[in-house]
Amino acid sequence: MHEYLAEFLGTFAIVFAGTGAIVVDNLTGKVGPLGIAITFGLIVAVAIYTLGHVSATLTPP
């Protein structure tokens, strides 16, 4: 069950922060494509470091 929760939280963070950066860019025009890409990259890195040891996709069978 922990694996599913880790996958859910990681996916939620990517979708929430990534689309949030896109929305902020559309409203203000201050984030830009580079800022959006950095947001996605940082969220993926944070998700790997915080949830990687629990995730079912990273543990060997």
pTM attached to this predicted model: 0.79
Domain assignment present for residue 23? The answer is: yes
Which pLDDT score, from 0 to 100, does residue 37 have?
97
Structure tokens at 17: 């922060």
Domain assignment present for residue 57? The answer is: no
pLDDT tens for each residue of 2-37 = 888 888 999 999 999 999 999 999 999 999 999 999
Pick the closest to residue 20 from 48, 1, 42, 2 (CA basis): 42
Give me the number of domains the chain comprises.
Answer: 1
Domain assignment present for residue 60? The answer is: no
Q: What secondary structure, in 3-state letters, does 13-34 show?
A: HHHHHHHHHHHHHHHHCCCHHH
**Radius of gyration over alpha carbons of the chain, in Å?**
14
Within 10 A of 29 (CB to CB), how many other CB atoms are there?
Answer: 8
Domain assignment present for residue 59? The answer is: no
Which pLDDT score, from 0 to 100, does residue 13 have?
94
Q: What angle do CA 13, 16, 17 make, to 5 degrees?
A: 80
Domain assignment present for residue 29? The answer is: yes
Domain assignment present for residue 18? The answer is: yes
Q: What range defines the domain where residue 6 resides?
A: 2-51
Higher pLDDT, 51 or 60: 51
Domain assignment present for residue 26? The answer is: yes
Domain assignment present for residue 56? The answer is: no
